[in-house]
Chain A
């Protein structure tokens, strides 16, 4: 077992990362050792990354102990780079994290300056001056290369800078030069943000944190008003919205809500979240309140402006969409479904349930979709999995049973219609799927069933199975 992380006191004692635990114990018998919990560390880093979303939407994780923030175009909101860095470090320090930060024009330089230098804001002119005294470890290269460089006496980055590039590349590989160029800012390096950048977003910072749900909703409505002009300018309406709530103590809540139709109206957007807040009521712990609210538009669609007529008949369409949105926001998109027809003659494949919120039937009033319309009767209710039954006295080879037992009840068959043969789809099914002969049966009680026989009666083989697939009205 080895030490993977140290606190301030143990660092001062002279312990090192990577040191054996037995050795450290031998040196200082009283040290406290805690098992490493990688998942918890990762969770903490992600929570901090979430919190950092307040500064820029582009936050990327860097290994297990670092974050990259792309603050291009964001600094003026916080009063410049110096103020921004001071704000981040100050707030994190208040939360109990000892953090080093650096702002520079390349991720590589910032990385080096944070870990091996003094950090802070590094201007473009002093890049080489800052980089030169740092050890070669600051270049994000593997251990073997570092060892080889040390062996040659190239301990500092400053030693590498005046060297000719070709021999370096030949000896240590192209990777070293790439890292060097990235640190110097000659080579573009992109960071990969954790979340996709919202198409549109607006936020509100609060001097006094808010806790009550109605205040959150009211504020969400206000933010939606400021989004409206931008949505109108683009001619789009939001389909998926996300409300990001930054709690005072650094926790971040994200509440997403979808709409069946593109929305611009602030009132309807805020209504969407009112249902959503009701649904997540228990999970949303306001604590000491939220200090920053942001409304993101994650997905949008072309907004078609329709003019209402004098009779007001256009309202029913809006109220249906509204109803679908409210239900989907509260009970989840899967709760409300619509059956969309599929091109298949196999009964259970002829329809597929899709969420009403995503269905094109609700969204656009398209003309009737062409489907396979069976000539014979189909049941009113269909079992998802046909249920096994026992058939008695079935007419061989292809007749209906006189009597059958299903769910421990014997039904006497009075009338029967059939058979209707439905073959398996050879382009979808396995070879051993049997063809089915369907019958409509009416029992003496007047109940009507849709049953089928899978396969045929063949001499010398086991009898085919019978199943109930649906019931008629």
Chain B
């Protein structure tokens, strides 16, 4: 009986290893593991081999299976270039959140895109300091070509010299496809360092990123007064409207996330009601189809669909 259990465990371990290599969980395995968990603390240990960065927010951590993976690519996407503030804010807050929880003084590498820098400005060190990243925490790179940027990202991730790498790109460049993203993903996995891919004004695209967030701006939280009340009309901590577009859970998760730069900590945005005020109706009223979770959607039809009257 004991022999049988050992063999079973070996089998599970091997299956898990294969699943990790492929980056996919096996549902049966996950269920079996849940069952094993109570009896076998070793399983827990095996699970923890994959480094994760928990947000400290239960729904988020559940959706991310314990937190943001620190050995892979996480994509952060915005719909419009005008949302660059929110998108780069979320990427930098992730870096700051991670930096606060890791020992050592390795910096964060920001690989900027030339056009995005012209469109949305350069990261401002004084503002970053207030955001939770001090001057020496950030290295800025401004490669001229995308090839250089990719080489730089690969080198940075592989060297293990930086805590996190933020690669900023604009749109969906042709030279950055699945092959390149897979290459970066493998490097990240080997070195155990995260790569945040910050895609401004980009479409959804197949990549080796394990999670993809869509970031949209949201009204900021109010400032807190010392006695505990809030100051009406003030602009306090930034809030991001996040949609977890790509993950292993079937339905996309959407929530408001508030970043507290002083504690370098995320919290759930509370004023969810204010987001859709009468001045700002939702862009897509009515039921929205869930975004495809595991793979790419089929290509949408060209042009807009207009309700013509029937000819006959």
Interface residues of A (CB under 8 A from B): 313, 316, 319-320, 322-324, 326-327, 330-331, 335-341, 347, 350-351, 353, 356, 361, 365, 368-369, 373-374, 377-384, 409, 412, 414-417, 440, 442, 444-448, 470-473
Contacts and interface: CB of A to CB of B under 8 A. Distances in A.
Interface in B124-162: 124-131, 134-136, 138-143, 148, 151-152, 155-156, 159-162
Of the four ranges (under 10, 10 to 19, 20 to 34, 35 or more), the interface on chain B belongs to 35 or more
Interface in B81-111: 82-86, 88-90, 92-93, 104-107
Given A445-B217, A446-B86, A448-B85, A326 B155 contact: yes
Contacts of A365: 105
From A316, A323, A368, A384, residue with most partner B Cβ within 10 Å:
A323
B130 A378 contact: yes
Interface stretch (B12-20, B30-38, B232-240, B242-250): B232-240
B122 A472 contact: no
Given A320-B107, A335-B141, A447 B83 contact: yes
Nearest to A356: B139
B233 A415 contact: yes
Contacts of A324: 139
A349 to B, nearest CB: 11
A337 B220 contact: no
A473 B128 CA distance: 10
A448 B216 CA distance: 12
28 contacts: A313-B104, A319-B160, A323-B155, A335-B143, A336-B140, A337-B139, A338-B139, A339-B138, A350-B125, A351-B125, A373-B129, A377-B235, A380-B92, A380-B128, A381-B84, A382-B122, A382-B123, A383-B121, A409-B82, A442-B219, A442-B220, A445-B82, A446-B217, A446-B219, A447-B85, A447-B217, A470-B127, A473-B89
Contacts of A447: 82-83, 85-86, 217
A339 B156 CA distance: 19
Contact of A473 (B92, B106, B140): B92
A414 B90 contact: no
The 4 closest A-B pairs by CB, nearest first: A473-B89, A446-B217, A339-B125, A381-B121
Interface in B258-312: 259, 275, 277, 279-280
Contacts of A330: 151
Given A448-B235, A473-B85, A381 B135 contact: no
B187 interface: no
B159 A472 contact: no
A444 B283 CA distance: 13
B7 interface: no
